[in-house]
Structure 1
Amino acid sequence: MTDGNGTSVDSTPTPRGDGDERASESRRGRRDVVVPMRLYKTVTVFSTLIAVGSVVVGFMFLDAATLNVSFLGAIVTGALSLVGVSVADGVMNTVLAVVGLAGIAFGAGVYTLGTRFRAQGMGKSQEDSDEPSDNNG
């Protein structure tokens, strides 16, 4: 492209330090959200609590789906029989397994989203820094 004087003009914007950082983060697919320290602590505590609870409950449902002598499986089957619903064992096992896997996936998603937050003044993680590592020997 040329300007009015006939000289060549580069139309690409010149990157600044902050823009380079955002561009490299978006290329990697990671975007951190900088929040106040109090909110960071709250998000970290509750996202970890929800994630761990979901994964544990998910594994309990998987256990109930794979074992015939399961505490959780007996509770679900007993509750359904109290209501008057009869479900075949194969269907019950499949439903319990799907619920278990969904719980584990939900916990992993909550934990992943919770790790995107960082407090003001916190440095970047070691993998994001441009400094060389001293682990040569």
Structure 2
Amino acid sequence: MADDPSRTGDSADEAADARGTDPDSAVGFDSATSETRSERDDSDGEGAESGQAGGDARSVVVPTAVYKRVTVFSTLIAVVAVVGGFLVLDVATDRATAELSEIDPLVALAGVGLIAFGAVTYAFSTRFRAEGMGNAKDDTDEPSNNG
């Protein structure tokens, strides 16, 4: 970059070259992380075009009506799947009294699979937030009452 004729050669340009950024451009390149400044700013989840409020890049902001439906139905599905999974697992093990050779492994795996499906469904549903909802982890204006 030293033989670029458009450079003036002052110390600010040399420092920018060392950092891998161009001081004249709005989008710089960070050579340490191999990402542009705009990519790093957008990955915060606070970019205007990301459609997300708050700092969690994995959360999805939806209208309040959608949030209510997602919360109700995903919680219902998760509870039914987990309880059903334990019931199926209970049937497979004959109320946990069956000998190891008497356990039906396919039914037991189906029970464990239902439990895992319920957990994944609930975890997925926690990604949704309604418009205007904040993230408790991002609130710093509340005093700490732990001693």
1:129 and 2:138 equivalent?
yes
* 1:129 CA displacement: 1.3
Structure 1 residues 136, 69: closer, same or farther in 2, change over 3 A? closer
- Which amino acid in the other structure matches residue 122 of structure 2? Y
- Unpaired segments ≥5 residues, structure 1: 71-88
Q: How does 1:62-81 map to 2 (within 5 A)?
A: 62-67=89-94
Identity fraction in percent:
43
Pairwise CA distance, 1:96: 1.4
Q: Which has the higher contact order (CA 8 A, sep 6+)?
A: 1
Cα drift, residue 99 of structure 1: 0.5
What is the TM-score when the length of structure 2 is the normalising length? 0.63
Counterparts of 1:108 and 1:69 in 2: how far apart (Å)?
A: 22
- TM-score of the aligned structures, taking structure 1 as reference length: 0.67
Moved over 3 A (4+): 13-16, 23-26, 89-92
1:44 matched to 2:71: yes
1: CA distance, partners of 2:96 / 2:59: 45
More helix by share: 1
**Residue by residue, what CA displacement relative to the aligned partner does 1:52-75 show, whole Å, maximum 9, x if unpaired?**
0000000001111112699xxxxx
Q: Alpha-carbon deviations, 1:77-99, whole Å to 9, x = none? A: xxxxxxxxxxxx95762111100
Residue of structure 2 in register with 1:21 after alignment: 44
Q: Structure 2 unaligned segments of length 5 or more: list them.
A: 22-27, 30-35, 47-54
Count residues with an aligned counterpart.
113
Q: Alpha carbon RMSD of aligned pairs, Å?
A: 3.2
